[in-house]
Structure 1
């Protein structure tokens, strides 16, 4: 009923008057329906002023309509700059970056494996030209603070001191921990080492293998941190030497020799090596945490000063410490660092592990040369 009344109202108020106007235009006098004629149209079209008015009206309508259409067409979205990270190993966290891009459509990320002198040259060229490509550094060199900027990250307020740096420049959303690897077919139960000191037990003589501690490496890095955290000392090193440890040229080779059963124990390895080997079915176990001290080597990220896409970069840095990002790290067996973050592969959650009070990153960097020299003096060169 309501629709019918609306239609009737439209008919009476609009349609009928327009029909009356149209029919009346063909009469000699409007409202007097005596005969049909085109005289009214001839008079109008013969008047130059009327024609000009009509042309002007159509012109204004055409231009106005065109301008209106332009204003109504949405402007193309301004392309967002890509977040470019200078980092070795960026691709190992690809699923994390995929999760970020899914959370924030339109923002893309890319990692470039640039470091050392090449990175120095690249950063210098960007500063000189003012054309910044890089946005952040991953696993940054702590001696590059002058090209980095501090950030206040609300999502990282509860992040432990071991995973941030006092300058508010370096933040670590993930980390690697170090433990003692062993062949689980040959070592089990009470024989599994529970402390670094257990490696000095005479029963392990000739049964321990290790990576190369005489050059900057994963193995020397761990020993430096253990030494700096007072979990080991010179006496421990001398006693370890008496165990006839076999030192290989790389941690990878040492890891494989334990998996093959050639040795019972790997002096130390990192979780990033252990997890993939274990996933392939290797008969190995990972002693962690250890009673006399634990080492964690964080993967730091830092924003470049005047870097590309600064707002999106800060967004990424904040997102890395959200529950979503921490879960994404855990799903790829990268240990998340935030309190309450998921455990990985059955390891004790990091917020329940007491870490050694080791020197800060800058001091660790300064210890590489003297400590690797010390290790070479004690252990000699690797044998294979």
Structure 2
């Protein structure tokens, strides 16, 4: 990305100066060699004429305003790097500043910006986006390129993809499965279902993140429990078979080092990243009952670079962004028929996953299972 410093924490005057400098460089054939402003070539995005015009209009408005840097607050950014870089190349003069904020830190940051009136964030990405929308931290915006996929009906609650109130939309999903050390286990050793992991033969071979801490493990177990795929007795048995750690990354490190053989309840993209870094790990998806969680993105309230932010949000649903999503190991909500996963993974339309309930049900069940999750940690 062109700007890799934290513009979001600089005074507004400095931000404006940095944006002006960027515009000067690009207009004069600087980095990228493309001029900011003017007619865009959007043919590769596979849009209709109306969508192309909306993106062109947003681009021109962003350039004219001088508010050309999009500050994104999210829990992670590594897998989005390809999308960010492609966006900056596709729309000369626009830049992205990724900021990592989650949980209490994100809440504190948003509260501080509201109280001070010094708004920095333009885009929010969070699996629980509705919480922040309910507090007034988002503005309604439906991306010009968004469409509800035909496959979604009956397979997940549609509010996991599109907010009924129009605040958030999901361009892709995470898939949770399992990881294993390829030097410790062969294909013939692997479990065939979640149920298998409760067998005593897995005692001392498993590790996973504490499910009482908000995160992927809590999400997976809540989804499985509320769907009746597993029960409390299963959870007690798998807890007894495993070493429970504070972070998902710690569990993956133990799998990578060979300390443990198998990590259930993990995010496939994290395993893929470790594998690409040379770790002897592999992803396992089951033939059924995998778990997904949608990544919800929305326009921040009082976003200083609102036009550029709207352009980015619309870009996320294009073929170009979908291709980058697949490369990173995520699953586009709408996957163009011309694209396939370079990792041999199925599209969401073909994936075998547990039905994802409404946001309100997930939140209610997480609270309901709270004491049960804590009991696993205590063992």
TM above 0.5:
yes
Alignment of 1:159-178 (within 5 A): 159=149, 160=152, 161=158, 162-178=160-176
Alignment of 1:1-384 (within 5 A): 79-90=66-77, 92-116=79-103, 119-120=106-107, 122-124=109-111, 126-127=113-114, 132-139=119-126, 141-145=129-133, 146-159=136-149, 160=152, 161=158, 162-241=160-239, 244-288=241-285, 290-340=286-336, 341-377=339-375, 379-381=376-378
Is contact 2:210-2:245 (8 Å) kept? yes
Deviation at 1:151, TM superposition (A): 2.5
Q: How far apart are the structure 2 equivalents of 1:116 and 1:244? A: 30
Q: How far apart are the structure 1 equivalents of 2:101 and 2:253? A: 29
Identify which of structures 1 and 2 has the higher relative contact order when contacts are C-alpha pairs closer than 8 Å and 6+ apart: 2
The alignment partner of 1:194 has SS state of: coil
Q: How far apart are the structure 2 equivalents of 1:94 and 1:251? A: 21
Q: How far apart are the structure 2 equivalents of 1:165 and 1:271? A: 26
Deviation at 1:369, TM superposition (A): 4.2
Q: How far apart are the structure 1 equivalents of 2:72 and 2:341? A: 27
Q: How far apart are the structure 2 equivalents of 1:232 and 1:168? A: 34
Kindly tell me: are residues 120 and 204 of structure 1, through their superposed partners in 2, closer, same or farther at Cα, counting changes over 3 Å? closer
The alignment partner of 1:350 has SS state of: coil
Is contact 2:132-2:138 (8 Å) kept? yes
Equivalenced residue count is 304
1:29 corresponds to: none
What's the TM-score once normalised by structure 1's chain length? 0.70
Kindly tell me: are residues 169 and 318 of structure 1, through their superposed partners in 2, closer, same or farther at Cα, counting changes over 3 Å? same
Could you say which structure has the larger radius of gyration?
A: 1
Kindly tell me: are residues 360 and 343 of structure 1, through their superposed partners in 2, closer, same or farther at Cα, counting changes over 3 Å? same
2:33 corresponds to: none
Is contact 2:129-2:296 (8 Å) kept? no
Q: How far apart are the structure 1 equivalents of 2:131 and 2:249? A: 28
Deviation at 1:110, TM superposition (A): 1.6
**Runs of 5+ unmatched residues, structure 2:** 1-62, 153-157
